[in-house]
Amino acid sequence: MQLLKLVESKVRVGVPLPWNVRNQDCTLLLARGHVIRNDSQLEALLERGMFVDIEEFKAVQALAAPAAKPPESIYTRWALAIDALESALPHLGETSDSLDAIQALADEILELADADPDIGLFMAVRQDHAKHLRYGYSHAVYTALLGILMARQLGWAAVRIRQIALAALTMNASIAELQGQMAAQDYPALDRQRTQIRAHPALSAALLEKAGVTDAEWIAAVMQHHEQPDGSGYPHGISSVSDTAQVLRMADLFMARISPRQLRQPLSIQDAARLMFRDDKGGPFSTATIKVLGIYPPGDFVKLASGEMGVVMRRGAEARTPLVAAVTDSQGKSVTSTLQRDTSQAAYAITGPATDRSLLARVPPERLYGYAVHTG
């Protein structure tokens, strides 16, 4: 038996002893549960020497310690990122804490993009469409992810990649609540709402300056994220637009097009990509986006040459050959098992997007990826 000598701070007067107390020879002095009545008794015992079996001491400590919090799944971390932005963004410019929280959130999204970009894209493509009122926050978080992946594809330095994440999270700081309201409303935008939309880049940039942001590229990206090189954008109609702002505009517009509103259905991934490629005239930014997403990104629902329908799990070596999880049989009937299909094989080649998306509600990410945990 290995003994540990007790000191005064470990023994409480009037409280039952949590372990047996012994002398230096291992002889039992006080049994577990005994109560030391006063300071004089405690002082006498300490002078005599109080010892405890070290294993018994550790066992009591372990029971008293709070249970370790299990690591959060990567899916939960994406949901918490939206919560964090919803807590911080409305207070931007009011407290330093809000800016600190947004900085920390940008780092979290960068870490999630490193941990598993395919799961991130799945969450972005398959975001909870029922929560229209949170659209302003979920949209910013997933735009940040797409902007990060685009910038990495373009070979940008880490500092610029972080700037685009920060700009995406704050580009709509002045209208985040309005965006949710407009996503949920079943009537066209009102004139006053359009006015707010046109003014929001400048107002959001002003909130950043008020919050103490001095990063000129971050502020410029927010100010310019609706400007276009041909001068047709807003709020100022300039033609000299930063690369960061152009990437942010494309990521912003792409995510907006694939997100539903109460008033309209979302565009398909393929239609949204086609429009982006057309608008950019096949330039480097739209090309980078298509390389990042592939033709069928994670979360997309597709038909296979086998007759099965499946959810894209991971991007493949080629844009048209991702890894797919089949969720129906060849007759289109839902199956309980999930079989992975390599679409580079002719038997499982993708023949196009699936139009009936009702089955998607039964395919949570855990079914495809397992209970993925990334502790960073």
Question: In the β-sheet with 334-342, what is the strand arrangement from edge to edge?
Answer: 334-342, 323-328, 309-314, 301-304, 350-353
Could you tell me where the DSSP H helices lie in the chain? Answer: 39-48, 54-64, 74-88, 96-115, 117-125, 135-153, 158-170, 176-184, 191-211, 216-224, 243-257, 269-279, 284-293, 365-369
Summarize pLDDT for 61-104 with one digit per residue, the tens.
Answer: 888 766 666 678 899 999 999 999 999 999 998 877 899 999 99
Using 50, 70 and 90 to split pLDDT, how confident is the model at 376?
A: very low
Count CA atoms closer than 13 A to 235's CA, side-chain side.
Answer: 16
Give the pLDDT of residue 211.
94
Q: Which residue has the tokens 């947004």?
A: 102
Distance, CA of 96 to chain centre = 22
Summarize pLDDT for 181-190 with one digit per residue, the tens.
Answer: 999 999 999 9
**Among 161-170, 254-263, 267-276, the range of highest mean pLDDT:** 161-170
pTM of the model: 0.80
Which one-letter amino acid corresponds to residue 195? T
In the predicted model, is pLDDT for residue 254 greater than 70?
yes
Find out whether 179 and 200 touch, Cβ atoms under 8 Å: no
Using 50, 70 and 90 to split pLDDT, how confident is the model at 371?
A: low
Q: Which residues pair with 326 in a beta bridge?
A: 310, 339
Find out whether 164 and 224 touch, Cβ atoms under 8 Å: no
Q: Let me know if 277 is exposed, middle or buried by CB neighbors in 10 A (0-12, 13-18, 19+).
A: middle
CA dihedral for 281, 148, 272, 252, sign (positive or negative): negative
